[in-house]
Chain A
Amino acid sequence: MFVQNDKNQTSKNLRVRETYSKSLAPGVEQILNLLRNKKHLTRQEIERTCEMGRTAVTDRLSVLSDIGFINEGSLGVTTGGRAPRLIQFNADAGRFLVASIEQEVLGVGMADLSGNLLTEHHENIDANASSDQIMKHLIALFDLLLDREVTNIDVLGIGLSIPGPVESFSNSHFFYKTPSMPSAWADAPLIEQLLSYYKAPVWIRGSVEAMAMGQTQSLDTFESETVLFVKVSNRIEASLIINGSLYQGANGLTGLIGHTPVESAGATSSLNSVAGELMVAKLGNDAANSGQSKILENILAQQANINAIDVSNAARAADHVAMEILSNCGRRIGQNIATIANMLNPSRIIISGSLVQDNDILLAAIREMIYRNAHPLISKDTLVEASVLGHSAGLIGSAAIAADGLFEPAYLKQWVLYGHPANEPKFKGLLGELNQDNRIEEFIVD
């Protein structure tokens, strides 16, 4: 059982700003987003960029300062007379809770309002665990992160990533119910529970998209890069970031490159089945059982099965059979990526997954095939590299997605004058509806 948490209901958030809401202070969202994207600005710079008068800017800054979203910091450079005071976005005015729910790994974290990850934790989850069990454990971990904070903090949003493509809602700024796709979560009130419990809006994305966002955010040059992100696990999936923005296709169903048909032993299979982690594990078990690989044979003597990580570890220990398994799978993956690269001309191709975590063999084979099969004018400038973020990429990406959602201009305009999304009338109405949702009541009683 867990106890209802009211940490995000600080006195600041409970103050509804009637005086501001009457005027709805046009330009508040513009100034806030300007400050989010710049380190700091003077009032004059804000007036100039937003094309607003001094009185209006002073009024809007007063609103933002009252809510706690901006700080007046150090002095800027004087152009004659008094040095101007620099104004900056206060990323510590609240927090995002973020989670990455993979098939066998659950990651949780907390990020500031600029999307910087402040703390994180990852653990194995039972692949057979029910969505209800995962949801309860997720909330227990979120509570633990909040409990560890010395002072009460405001949760202004929650970012989640889950496996597979996620159905999006066009009629809302955030997810107000659990989408029917992916089907694994269709019957669990994940979104409803988090909304109701933390009283904060939720955004959710497919895990590869979130990882790609996270990976790209960590690049200094992300706003000018075209990044093809490829995750190799049981499934091989990709995502494309163009100039810092996620490409989502017509229906959000992008990057399913593992379904590409490939020839193997005279038959046609999918790339997933001939080069994914399940195939790596199968070939590893074959090598252990046949005695071809002494290292894998020794590992198998201590456990029930060889998994893909075991093959990767054996390859790092220079086991030739394990190295060949990874190389063959890498070449198949690289061949497909080369075809995609010829079409998209990415500036960077980033490979992620446990098999590239600790050795370069899979990466080298992928790189070899890209450089061999992509057009020379494309391959000569394309960087092919391994992700160093691991599962953190999903959390960083989830934080970026939550920040994008919370500060999306139309939504920001809707809630900012109330100080907290939960104080905004439509959100309050939604919480009232959720109070009538029997599934949530049952969950809390458990």
Chain B
Amino acid sequence: MSVTGLGPHGEHPTKLNEVSLSPIQSQQARDQKFRIAVVYHTTSSDWSKQSLKGLMNILSEHDIIVDDIIDCQFTPQLQIDALTTLSKRSDIDAVISIPIGNLDVIDAHRHISESGKKLILHDSVPTGLLPGRDYSSFISSDNFHIGTTAAEILSPHIPHKGAVGILTFGTDFYATNEREISFGRWFRSNRPDTDIITTRFHSLKHVKVAAQELIENNPQLSGIFVVWDVPAMDTIVVIDEKNLNLPLVTVDLSQNTANALSNGHHVIGVVAQNPYIQGEVVARTTILSLLERAIPSWIAIKGSAVTKDNVEDILQTIKYDL
């Protein structure tokens, strides 16, 4: 499985195995006693917990102090406040951030790099921030490939001249944009007989309303792709309420999606990211950046197709301890 997407500025990807620390670099990092802060969109999802676990594992190995882990609860203003505070602190060497939204949070992120701190971005880059100038590196899954894989899983369940739904995030967010675009591109290229119907939700509070709208307005739907697991579980509730049998594919192998997949509860496939590995790569990249080493502008990590047949194996592979 190769990486097929491009970075937020059209960058070619660097694979995760090309980012490593030599024993000398590891020792240099331990000697420096770096101090960093982590600003995540949420810390409560299974994905975030695993990502943080991988991150903390590598950082603690290198005696790096994680001064703060901030949960922004998907609220841009919380992130702006957090980053503004961090940019004024002289004892922080680097900030790892998952940006929420796009243009809303651009200045707050820019303040971090302008204050002389290293900024490592994870999963999204606000439009206008540039590698090497505004941030050091960007780490994400190959989300384009994730969308393509989701389409391949769902396609056999869509009859000829059927309709497929996409329930996606209305906010401009790199990871979900890539998944949506590649899912649609795959269907247009490989299943031109299929109608693609897209509905967007702008916050997690509105997922059920958006799912109801998608399903009620389009009774011809034969399957749905939901761009990550948390809204997917809300969508399953809506499908159950309507007493429908609608195949669903989503992204991220959480406890809930793994259970739904195993039990055949609407979920017929999941494209699993590797959040633990991603967290480790984010940590290594941050260390290399702090040591002033040349680092790639985009590091991409492949996802895995998960079906009922391999869900237990994949759970072991991606180090989930659900």
B205 within 8 A of A: no
Number of interface residues of A (CB under 8 A): 37
Q: Check A392–B10 contact: CB distance below 8 A.
A: yes
Which residues of B pack against A, CB within 8 Å?
2, 4-12, 14, 18, 102-103, 127-128, 130-133, 144, 170, 172, 177-178, 180-182, 184-185, 188, 192, 198, 200, 202, 294-297
Which residues of A pack against B, CB within 8 Å?
1, 105, 107, 109, 116-124, 136-137, 140-141, 144, 147-148, 150, 303, 309, 313, 316-317, 354, 357-360, 386, 388-392
Of A123, A140, A144, A303, the residue contacting B5 (CB under 8 A) is A123
Q: List 6 A-B contacts (CB under 8 A).
A: A109-B127, A118-B102, A120-B8, A358-B294, A388-B131, A392-B9
Cα distance A360–B295 when bound, in Å?
11
Cα distance A206–B172 when bound, in Å?
29
Cα distance A124–B132 when bound, in Å?
23
Chain A residues contacting B103 (CB-CB under 8 Å) are 118
Q: Check B200–A313 contact: CB distance below 8 A.
A: no
| Given contact pairs A141-B181, A316-B296, A360-B294, A123 touches B6 in the complex (Cβ within 8 A) | yes
Chain A residues contacting B294 (CB-CB under 8 Å) are 316, 358-360
What is the CB-to-nearest-CB distance from A137 to chain B, in angstroms, rounded to a whole number? 7
Those 5 A-B pairs whose CB atoms lie nearest each other, nearest first: A391-B10, A122-B10, A390-B9, A392-B9, A122-B6
Chain A residues contacting B130 (CB-CB under 8 Å) are 388-389, 392
Q: Check B170–A358 contact: CB distance below 8 A.
A: no
Q: How many Cβ-Cβ contacts under 8 Å join chain A to chain B? A: 91
| Given contact pairs A117-B128, A150-B170, A391-B9, A358 touches B202 in the complex (Cβ within 8 A) | no
Closest to A120 in B: B127
| Given contact pairs A316-B296, A359-B294, A388-B131, A124 touches B200 in the complex (Cβ within 8 A) | no
Closest to A2 in B: B188
Q: Check B102–A313 contact: CB distance below 8 A.
A: no
Chain B residues contacting A109 (CB-CB under 8 Å) are 127
Of B132, B198, B296, the residue contacting A147 (CB under 8 A) is B198
| Given contact pairs A358-B297, A390-B9, A313 touches B14 in the complex (Cβ within 8 A) | yes
| Given contact pairs A118-B127, A121-B181, A313 touches B6 in the complex (Cβ within 8 A) | no
Cα distance A388–B7 when bound, in Å?
13
Q: Check A105–B131 contact: CB distance below 8 A.
A: no
Q: Check B4–A119 contact: CB distance below 8 A.
A: no
Cα distance A386–B202 when bound, in Å?
38
Identify 9 new A-B residue pairs, CB closer than 8 A, beyond the known A140-B185, A389-B9, A390-B10: A120-B8, A123-B144, A123-B185, A136-B188, A140-B188, A358-B295, A358-B297, A386-B132, A390-B7
